[in-house]
């Protein structure tokens, strides 16, 4: 699977959701039943995973046979210091293969309204 790059901007303390679609080279859906998706955000790429500011392991998918998964962040997840972070999305297939499918920079920006 090729690695895509995407920069994201999230308001501090906001909910965030991103849908990921898994398709093969012929654009057919890939069944992701039994897969594990990891979403990791760090201050620096060389930080250990234990120092991640956001870390999600997703094993329940919105439509696994159609290759559709959701990454959902809570306001607690995104309540981070204002700034730029590195992130990636890795998947582990039911056969144990590991692929990085998405990476980039996440910018946490200041929010005007600060609901609690």
Q: Are 15 and 115 in contact (CB under 8 A)?
A: no
pLDDT, the chain, mean:
93
CB atoms under 10 Å from CB of 23, counted, come to: 12
Q: Are 86 and 102 in contact (CB under 8 A)?
A: no
Report if residue 33 sits inside a domain.
yes
Report if residue 116 sits inside a domain.
no
pTM summary value:
0.89
Report if residue 98 sits inside a domain.
yes
Report if residue 115 sits inside a domain.
no
Overall number of domains in the chain: 1
Report if residue 114 sits inside a domain.
no
20-75 confidence digits (pLDDT tens) = 999 998 999 999 999 999 999 999 999 999 999 999 999 999 999 999 999 999 99
Specify burial of residue 41 (Cβ count, 10 A radius: 0-12, 13-18, 19+).
Answer: buried
Please give the residue range of the domain that contains residue 42. Answer: 4-109
Give the pLDDT score at 95.
95
Give the pLDDT score at 1.
58
Q: Are 91 and 32 in contact (CB under 8 A)?
A: yes
Alpha-carbon distances, residue 80 vs 74, 84, 88 (angstroms): 12, 10, 17
């Amino acid at each position: 699977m090729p690695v895509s790059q995407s920069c994201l901007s999230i308001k501090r303390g906001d909910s965030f959701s991103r849908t990921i679609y898994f398709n093969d080279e012929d654009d057919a859906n890939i069944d992701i039943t039994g897969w594990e998706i990891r979403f990791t955000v760090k201050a620096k790429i060389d930080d250990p995973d234990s120092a991640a500011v956001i870390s999600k392991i997703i094993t329940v998918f919105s439509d696994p046979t159609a290759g559709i998964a959701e990454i959902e962040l809570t306001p607690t997840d995104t309540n981070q210091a204002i700034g730029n972070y590195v992130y990636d999305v890795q998947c582990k297939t039911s056969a144990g293969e590991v692929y990085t499918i998405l990476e980039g920079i996440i910018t946490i920006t200041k929010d005007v309204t600060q609901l609690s």
